[in-house]
Amino acid sequence: MTLSVINAKIREAENSANRAIGNTELLAVSKVQPNEKVLNVLEQGHRIFGENKVQEAHSKWPMFRENFPNVKVHLIGPLQSNKVKQAVELFDAIHTLDRLKLAQKLSNEIQAQGKAPEMFIQINTGEEKQKSGIIPSEADKFILDCISLDLPIKGLMVIPPINEEPSLHFGLLRKIARRNGLAGLSMGMSSDFESAIAMGATHIRVGSAIFGESNYS
């Protein structure tokens, strides 16, 4: 699927949901992609990307930013506490805030650097033991804790369970966000982004539909 086709599908989904055209940001998920593929997408005019690992992002984006200074890079994978300093330096947004210790470290680092990436709190709507994120019953308190640390909380993020209807989890995320006055909804990937847009997604994370299946070998 080409980038132009995906953008057309996004506009169509926004229109079908009676949403303003252009309200949904497309994060091109460039993790483990060779630089030539990322460069191709950049040369098509796309400027928002998602990366899973701090170290991998650091190996490519400072170089790309020399020629594409207006590019924005979002961290969409887990953030280790020992990578916080580098993450705040590098990323424009972090979508995986999932524990108080990390929130405290991010708050301290943001104050030290004077740079504040937008923050999304990851919600584990399926309450899966193997998955990171705050469970729904603890979300309201965690959001308040993060706000009390002066973190720039933009919204919430979810990765639905593989074998469940994603729209149910998108709906739950929207409900939690609304009652806490948060506008950002990071939800939807290559297989379900149209459903996510219908449920109010503001950021969708699309990798394989743009770049093809990743080679992890």
Higher pLDDT, 212 or 50: 50
In this structure, is residue 20 part of a structural domain? Answer: yes
Q: If you ran DSSP here, which 8-state letter would residue 52 be given?
A: S
Confidence of residue 171 (pLDDT cuts 50, 70, 90): very high
Confidence of residue 217 (pLDDT cuts 50, 70, 90): very low
Contact 117, 124 (CB under 8 A): no
The answer to whether residue 213 scores a pLDDT higher than 80 is no
Confidence of residue 212 (pLDDT cuts 50, 70, 90): confident
In this structure, is residue 215 part of a structural domain? Answer: no
Q: List residues bridging with 203 in a β-sheet.
A: 25, 186
Contact 51, 85 (CB under 8 A): no
CATH number of the structural domain spanning residue 26:
3.20.20.10
> Tell me, what amino acid is at 125?
T
In this structure, is residue 149 part of a structural domain? Answer: yes
In this structure, is residue 123 part of a structural domain? Answer: yes
d(CA 46, CA 70): 10
Predicted local distance difference test score (pLDDT) of residue 215: 58
In this structure, is residue 43 part of a structural domain? Answer: yes
In this structure, is residue 217 part of a structural domain? Answer: no
Q: Is 50 left (phi over 0), alpha (psi -120 to 50) or beta?
A: beta
**Count of structural domains, the chain:** 1
Domain with 121, as residue range(s), is 3-210
Global confidence as pTM: 0.95
